[in-house]
Structure 1
């Protein structure tokens, strides 16, 4: 059984892709096998729909849309989904949130990171717990982190992006783990996926790893972890950043217009 991944939107355009394909900060992937088709994130606007049409990719008959978390560059395209679309995500995905600057121990909002999206017209499946989508696809649910990193404010509280989850595919060669931004930390994410599936082997890590401004110490720890984990493929894009990719072993950089097939 083969897994196919089509990059509908990413920060960069693939070298062989059409010039008409839009490139924006964000992520949208179409992931499918013989029985299941999942849209993972929608990017910031209608660009994923535009690019899918240009790529000859049909978005009809999706099994589900999965939203990794509630930042605008991952869920901003929801208004362009058809009514009654099945959407799987964390209950906090629609909460208002801001980037913030800490001054003298107080958080000051500087940029809104969420959008006012009408989720009521869709078939929403909110869950903090893992959810089996099909025989091979699993939504991770909420990822526990002992010492989470703050990324702004949600309402009047610190935003640790607790709503971030990942999509897991159970391949014959091990877990395929697809991340949106990796705010919860790639090490925590992998360990969570191993725990809920009972499978240690990781075949592929795909998506944003949020390492673009990580410290050398953090990057060295991630590199050591990945060298011990020995995934067959590391495919880092979106917010991983050029700086982060420098530290990742044998990294591949998916871009808008790319297609990958995993046997």
Structure 2
């Protein structure tokens, strides 16, 4: 059963595609098999909708929208979704968050990374546990990490460290193994893959697609990821968005998807 992946929005526009397509920092993928279609992330605004129209994607066929996490460049397009859209995500997706620097015990906020989005007009399915979307599509739920990395602060009555615990991934059970679609990979690609293998009981990885968050990673971190992926031997490795040129340089046989491209996994 073929799986079609259309890149509705990515940091770059692919060469040779319609020049009216918009490219912005963010990610939005249309993932479809013979029976279901999932919109994975929406990018920062309504650009994904414009591009979907230009690319001939019929969003009315959506089985669900899956939001990987609450950073604006992945969920900012939610206001452009039709009312009562089925949205699957972590319960903490709406937390207010900022990038920040800490020096001598003092934390200074730099940039707001979340948006005030009205989720009440949609059919929300919040889950920190794995959730079957359809026969083959699965929401990973929260990904356990022994030593999580901090990515700024969560704001509210009190401030706390943001470990992006709301980040999950989309899993597709293909006949050739798991297809794992990541938004940013804040929880670590190794942790993400192992989590997906554990909850599905399937070890074979057919494809790994999305942001791997390696654009500023240390050589040691990238070497660990590279060694792990060589052990897993995915047939397809597609690093986009926050994978970065630095991350792609190190990864074996990686493809760099861009806005306007279509990929078909057999």
What's the TM-score, normalizing by structure 1?
0.99
Post-superposition shift, 1:106?
2.4
Give the Cα–Cα distance (whole angstroms) in 2 for the partners of residues 187 and 218 of structure 1: 10
Post-superposition shift, 1:164?
0.2
How do 1:25-36 residues align onto structure 2 when only pairs under 5 Å count?
25-36=25-36
How do 1:1-263 residues align onto structure 2 when only pairs under 5 Å count?
1-155=1-155, 156-263=159-266
After the TM superposition, which parts of structure 1 deviate over 6 Å for at least 4 consecutive aligned residues?
none
CA deviations on 1:10-53 (whole Å, 9 max, x unpaired) are 00111121111000000000001111110000000000000011
CA RMSD between the two structures: 0.6
Matched residue of 2:263: which SS? Answer: strand
Unaligned 5+ segments in structure 1 are none
Give the Cα–Cα distance (whole angstroms) in 2 for the partners of residues 106 and 196 of structure 1: 39
Matched residue of 2:60: which SS? Answer: coil
Post-superposition shift, 1:152?
0.3
CA deviations on 1:73-129 (whole Å, 9 max, x unpaired) are 000000000000000000000110000011112221110000000000000000000
Give the Cα–Cα distance (whole angstroms) in 1 for the partners of residues 17 and 142 of structure 2: 35
Post-superposition shift, 1:61?
2.5
Give the Cα–Cα distance (whole angstroms) in 2 for the partners of residues 179 and 134 of structure 1: 18
Give the Cα–Cα distance (whole angstroms) in 2 for the partners of residues 191 and 3 of structure 1: 22
Give the Cα–Cα distance (whole angstroms) in 1 for the partners of residues 214 and 15 of structure 2: 23
Q: How many residues are paired up?
A: 263
Give the Cα–Cα distance (whole angstroms) in 2 for the partners of residues 106 and 142 of structure 1: 29
Give the Cα–Cα distance (whole angstroms) in 2 for the partners of residues 170 and 237 of structure 1: 21
What's the TM-score, normalizing by structure 2?
0.98
Give the Cα–Cα distance (whole angstroms) in 1 for the partners of residues 227 and 79 of structure 2: 41
CA deviations on 1:215-239 (whole Å, 9 max, x unpaired) are 0000111110011111001000000
Give the Cα–Cα distance (whole angstroms) in 2 for the partners of residues 231 and 35 of structure 1: 24
Post-superposition shift, 1:200?
0.4
Give the Cα–Cα distance (whole angstroms) in 1 for the partners of residues 163 and 105 of structure 2: 17
